[in-house]
Structure 1
Amino acid sequence: MGFNPNYFVEGRIYGQYILKEHPNAKIGVLYQNDDLGKDYLNGIKAGLGDKAAKMIVTEASYEVSDPTVDSQILKIKDAGADLFFSATTPKQAAQAIKKIAEMGWHPIQIVDINATSVGAVLKPAGLDAAKGLISVNYGKEPLDPTWKDDPGLKKYFDFMAKYYPDGDKDSNFNTYGYSTAQLLVHVLKQCGDDLTRENVMKQAASLKDVTSDTALPGIKANTSATDYRVNKQLQMMKFNGERWELFGPILEDSGPAG
C-alpha cells in the first residue's frame, strides 16, 4: 500500500486544474520514461479529457541515466508550449527549472509532488528560477510560518531534535518519513496482539479518518478492502521564491485509481 498519492490521480488533478484555470494552455510534458512518468502523463490526459489531444502540444521523455534534460526542454519550448508539466524526480526536476530560467523562457510551470523539496530540488535549481512553480501537497511545510505554533509540527521538530539532530528538519522528505512511520504505529496499535500479516493488512485497509501530526487540516486517511489509497486529498500550492504557499480548497479525487 503506497502512502503517497497515486501518481495517476495526482496527474488527473493537475489536468482538472489546468482546464479550470488555463483552458487555452499549450501544454508541454517532460516525463520520466518509466511507470512513474507514464502514470503522470496518463493522469493529466485523463484530467484534460477530450481536450488533451488539442492542449498537449508535445511530450518528451528522458531516461534516469541521461546526464541532462536540456534537449528535451528545447524540444518542448520549440513546440510552442506555454505551460510546462514536469513529471520528474528531483535531479531532472532541478535541471529543468534551471534550464528554463537560463533560456529566459517563462511558461507556467507545474511540478509533481516528488520534485517539491526546497533543499533537494529548488535550491539546486535556484530559488529565483523556481519562483511561481505550482504543485500539490497533503502535508505541512516545515518552512511555512503558518504552522509556527502548530502542535503537530512541534512534535515533529521535537522528534527530529531527539532522534535525528543531523537531519534537515525543513525537508519534506523527513516530514514524509515521519508521517509514514506515524501511520505504521497507528496500524500496529490497531492490531493489538494479533500481528499476523492478515491482521496488519486488515487494519491498514480499514483506516477511518486517520490524521497525522504533519497532515494539512482537513486531510484524513480512509482506506477499504477495495481502495488501498491512503492519501486521496491534495491542496494546490505555489512557490513564492522562499517557500510554498497553499491556495484553493482541499481537492479530493474519488475517481478510479488508474
Structure 2
Amino acid sequence: MKVRRRFTAVVAVVSAVALVAAGCGRGTRGGEGSASPGITDTAITLGITTPLSGPTAGPGTCTVAGVKAYFGSVNAAGGVKFGDGKTRKVEIKSYDDAYDPQKSLANFQQMSSDGVFAVTAGLGTPTNRAFRDAAIDEKFPQVLVMTGDPLFSKRQDSPWQLGFVPIYQNEGAAFGKLLAASGGQHKVAVLAQNDDYGKGYVEGFKQAIAGAPNVQIVRELSYEATDTSVDAQLTELASTGADVFFNAMSITPLAIAALQKAQQVGWRPSWFLPSNTSSPSAILQPGNASAFPGIYSVAFAKAPQSPEFAKDADVVKFLADLKQYANYPDVPAFPHCMWSYMVGATLQQAFEKMTKPTRDDFMTALRGISGFRAPLMLEGTAVDTTKDGQPAVSSVVVQKYNGKGYATAQAFG
C-alpha cells in the first residue's frame, strides 16, 4: 500500500509539472496544439501599421479602410467559418506610423502586447522592413503587406512574410516590354527614388528593354524620399529632350509637383508612373496630366473612378461596404483601398483552410492559394501565393490615362 501511495504521489507531481510547463508555453509562439495569440473560438485579431498621418496618409488610410470594409461586411453576415469548423469574427487594430520606420517598429512591439494574431496590409517598404527581423524572431505573420520589395516573398529569407502587390521589378518590366514592342525610336529620362523602391522599378525596366535597339536611356537621376522638391532634377532631365519619362516615385506631393514642373519648363514627354502614385483624382488631375501625350501606369484592380467600371457589381458592393463599414463615404482616390479589400478576401481564403488556430497553420494555408479571383481584380490577373519569390499578385495590366480614368493600353502611343 505504501509503495502504491508513493507511486501515485510521484505520478501526480510529474503530471502537475507537465501541466504547468504546457501552460507556460501555451500560445506564446503559436506552437503545435495550442492557440496562438490573437485567436479565440469566436474571434481573430489582425493589426495594421500604416501611415495615417503625413504626406502618405491618403493611401495609408486606404489600407485600413479596405480591410475594415471587407471584414465589416463578412462579420455582419455572421463571420468567417474557419477550416476547424468554428465561426469567428475578424477584428482590426490600426496603428499610425506616419511612414516612419521607428514608429512602425514601435507599433509592432505594441501589437505583440495587444495580442494581435498577424500583421497585414500596411503600406511602405522601409516601414515594413523595420520590424521584419523581429517578426521572424517571434514567428509572427507579416503578410499581404503593401510593398513591392521582393525580399518579403522569398520564403527562405522571410519565412513569416508575404507581400501582396506586384514586386517593383514586375511593374517596371511591364512598361519596358510595352515600350520595346512599340517599334518607334524612344529616348528615356529616368527619375527614381533612391531606395529599394526606386531601384526595383528601374531594374525591371532595364531588364525589359535590354537588347531593344529602339529604346535608349539618355539620363538617369535620383531623389531622396525625404526631399521636398525635385525641380532641379526635372529641369536637368527636360534638357535631354527625352520623349519618355520613367518616374519611379512614391511620394504623392512630389508626383504632382513633377507633372507641374515639366509643364513649366515646356517638357511634355509620355510618362510612366508606378501604380501607387497614379491616382487620377489625387495626382493626375491636380498635375494637369492631360497636357501630356500619354500617362501610363499598371494595375490589377478595377478603378471605381473609371466610367468603364461605374456599374460593375464588384465596384458597387465595394463602395457600399467602404461607406457602411469603414466610414469612407467618397470614391477612393488611391488604389490601396481596392488592394486592401482584396487582401481581406485573400485572408478569408486562408482562414477557411486553417484546421488549427495557430500561426503555423495560418502560414501553411496562406501559401496554398492559387488562381483566386478576388473581388475587384482585373481580367487576366489573380491571386497566387504558391510561387516562391513572388507576392500574392504578380500579374499586372499596363493602362493609359484617358482624362478621367484608365483604359488598357494595347500599344504604346
If the TM-score is normalised by the length of the shorter chain, which range does it land in? 0.7 to 0.9
Report whether the alignment pairs 1:31 with 2:192.
yes
Which of 168, 172, 175 aligns to 1:11? It is: 172
Match of 1:187 in 2: 350
Residues 222-237 of structure 1 mapped to structure 2, 5 A cutoff: 222-224=384-386, 226-237=388-399
Structure 2 regions of 5+ residues with no counterpart?
1-161
Residue 148 of structure 1: CA displacement?
2.7
Which of 76, 94, 102 aligns to 2:237? It is: 76
- Cα deviation 1:73-124 (Å, max 9, x = unaligned): 1111112311101100122221111111222212111111121112332233
Determine if contact 1:30/1:86 at 8 Å carries over to the other structure: yes
Alpha-carbon RMSD across the aligned residues, in angstroms, is: 2.2
In the aligned structure 2, how far is the partner of 1:246 from the partner of 1:225? 26
Determine if contact 1:81/1:107 at 8 Å carries over to the other structure: yes
Match of 1:46 in 2: 207
Q: Which is further off, 26-35 or 12-21?
A: 12-21
Letter in 2 for 1:87: A
Are residues 29 and 235 of structure 1, via their aligned partners in 2, closer, same or farther at CA, if it must alter by over 3 Å?
same
Determine if contact 1:131/1:240 at 8 Å carries over to the other structure: no
- Among all aligned residue pairs of Structure 1 and Structure 2, give the percentage whose two residues are the same amino acid: 27
Match of 1:169 in 2: 331
Determine if contact 1:94/1:124 at 8 Å carries over to the other structure: yes
In the aligned structure 1, how far is the partner of 2:387 from the partner of 2:395? 19
Which of 342, 351, 359 aligns to 1:197? It is: 359
Match of 1:100 in 2: 262
Letter in 2 for 1:221: V
Determine if contact 1:69/1:92 at 8 Å carries over to the other structure: yes
Match of 1:217 in 2: 379
The number of equivalent residue pairs is: 248
Determine if contact 1:127/1:242 at 8 Å carries over to the other structure: no
Letter in 1 for 2:246: F
Structure 1 regions of 5+ residues with no counterpart?
250-258
For normalisation by structure 2, the TM-score amounts to: 0.56
Letter in 1 for 2:345: Q
Residue 23 of structure 1: CA displacement?
4.4
Misfit runs of 4+, over 3 Å: 50-54, 127-131, 165-168
- Cα deviation 1:201-249 (Å, max 9, x = unaligned): 2222221211111101232112226244211211111111222122339
